[in-house]
Structure 1
Amino acid sequence: MHLRAAAIVVAVRQHGEHGAIVRALTRNDGVQPGYVRGGRSRAMRPVLLQANVIQGEWRARTGEQLASLTAELIHSRAQMHGEPLAAGALEWATALTAAALPEAQPYPQIHDALDGVLGAIEAAPSARGWAAALVRYELLMLAELGFGLDLDRCVASGTADDLGFVSPKSGAAVSRGAAFGYEAKLLRLPTFLMVGGEADWPDIFDGLRLTGHFLARDILVDRRADPLAARDRLVDRLKRAVA
């Protein structure tokens, strides 16, 4: 096995005294794990940060063996790790990707969307500039893994107009008319998830509640549930920042 590709670092775990096991998302070959000799060294730690883009070269004698990985830095996002909101967003987006995606299966749309979200976090002067993009990324992750929400028309009446809620059971949209009297049992559907554009903070938090419900129920379950703690920390930081 020999692979050379640009990749986004999504997880780093110390292995032994000096090494690290790194998981990185390539565009055409999915998440690729590898062992980096000296990965905990002073020279390599700034390279192997979550959200950094590396040029990776994976080598293994067999497909079942953990590959040896050498990594060169293409683009660093180290400066964002010192900003609490940006750091929380990087931690969550990469942790979600690492936990949710199976290894060695290509998800080019997810790769491109993750790169876009990380770029938005890097470029935006405030969290409002990237928070909506993060919600859209979570929605894409659900869809790509087979748990997409049906937001085209009302599950009760069939209308495509005045959609305002989502059933927490079926993941299907519900119009405001059909939801009358049951609003407390449904999840709010923010407008920006249907028509795009900018979003205000109430809509962003509604979007986070919506995607968070289905991520926890359908993808981040059992041993993969640990990354949800990073999401909780991020949401708490966002609420404090806009309070």
Structure 2
Amino acid sequence: MRLETQAIICAVRPHGEHAAIVRALTPGAGIQAGYVRGGKSRTLRPVLLPGNLVAAEYRARTEDQLPHMSLELVASRGALLSEPLPAAAIEWATALTAAALPEGQPYPRLYEALDGLLSAVEAAPAARGWATALVRYELLLLAELGFGLDLSECAATGVESDLAYVSPRSGRAVSAVAGEGYRDRLFALPPFLLDGGPAAWSDIFDGLRITGHFLTRDILIERQADVLAARERLIGRLKRIGGA
């Protein structure tokens, strides 16, 4: 097995005294794990940071063997890890990716979306500039894993207009009229998920409530405590600046 590719570092775990096991998202081969000799060294520590873009080479004698991974830094997002809010966003996005995706299955759309999200976190002066991209990334991940939401029409009436809610059971949209008597049992559907464009903080938090419900129920079933803790830290920081 030999693979040369760009990759986004998603998770790093120490192995022994000097090495590390690295899981990274590649554009054509999905999540790939590799053994990095000297991964805890002073030279490689700043390279092996979640969110960094690297040029990686994987080598293994058999398909069943954990490949050795060598890598060079292409773009560092390490400076953002000293800022609490961007650091929390990078921690959650990469932790979610590493925990949710099976190894070796290609998800090119997720690779592009994750790189775009991390670039937005890096470029945006305020969190509202990338918070909508975070919600859309979570929605895309759900869809790519077979748990996509259907926001095209009302689940009760089939109408395609006046969609205002999402059913927590089916993940389908519900119109304002059909959902009027069930508002306390439904999620509010923020307009930006239908029309794109910017969103108010209240809409962003509505979007995060929707994606959080389905990620917890359908994807992170056995890995909730540790992975979702990163999401809770991020949302806590977003609420402090968003006034929720």
TM class by shorter chain equals over 0.9
Find the counterpart in structure 1 of residue 60 from structure 2.
60
Distance change in 2, residues 1:124/1:57 (3 Å): same
Q: Which residue of 2 aligns with 1:212?
A: 212
Secondary structure of 1:126's aligned partner: coil
Structure 2 counterparts to residues 1-243 of structure 1, below 5 A: 1-223=1-223, 226-243=226-243
Deviation at 1:242, TM superposition (A): 2.3
Extract structure 1 runs of 4+ deviating beyond 3 A: none
Moved more, 233-242 or 206-215: 233-242
- Structure 1 letter corresponding to 2:48: L
Contact 2:216 2:224 (C-alpha < 8 Å) held by counterparts = no
Separation in 1, partners of 2:130, 2:233: 16
Matched residue SS, 1:222 = coil
How far apart, in 2, do the equivalents of 1:31 and 1:134 lie? 19
Tell me how far 1:115 sits from its aligned partner: 0.3
Contact 1:155 1:173 in 2 (8 A): yes
User: How far is the alpha carbon of 1:224 from its aligned partner?
Assistant: 5.8
Report the secondary structure of 1:56's partner residue: strand
* Letter paired with 1:12: V
The C-alpha deviation readout for 1:173-198, integer Å capped at 9, x for no partner, is 00010011210100111000011000
Distance in 1 (alpha carbons) for counterparts of 2:47 and 2:182: 51
Range 146-155 or range 222-231, more displaced: 222-231
User: 2:192, 2:198 within 8 Å by CA — same for their partners in 1?
Assistant: yes
CA distance in 2, matches of 1:224, 1:35: 26
d(CA) in 2 for partners of 1:129, 1:188? 21
Q: Secondary structure at the match of 2:25?
A: strand
TM-score of the superposed pair, with normalisation by structure 2: 0.98
- Aligned-partner residue type, residue 151 of structure 1: L
Question: What do residues 148-201 of structure 1 show as CA deviations (whole Å, max 9, x unaligned)?
Answer: 001000001111110010000010000010011210100111000011000110
Residue pair 1:99, 1:224 contacting (<8 A) in 2 also: no
Work out the CA distance in 1 between the residues paired with 2:95 and 2:224.
10
Structure 2: how far apart are the matches of 1:113 and 1:83? 22
More moved, 145-154 vs 223-232: 223-232
Q: Indicate the SS of the match to 1:153.
A: strand
How far does residue 226 in structure 1 lie from its aligned partner after superposition? 2.6
Aligned residues of 1:3 and 1:58 also touching (Cα < 8 A):
yes
TM-score computed with the length of structure 1 as normaliser: 0.99
Residue 66 of structure 1 deviates from its aligned partner by: 0.5
Give the drift of 1:225.
Answer: 5.2
Residues 36-65 of structure 1 deviation map (CA, whole Å, 9 limit, x = unaligned)? 011011110000000000010111111111
Gaps of 5+ in 1: none
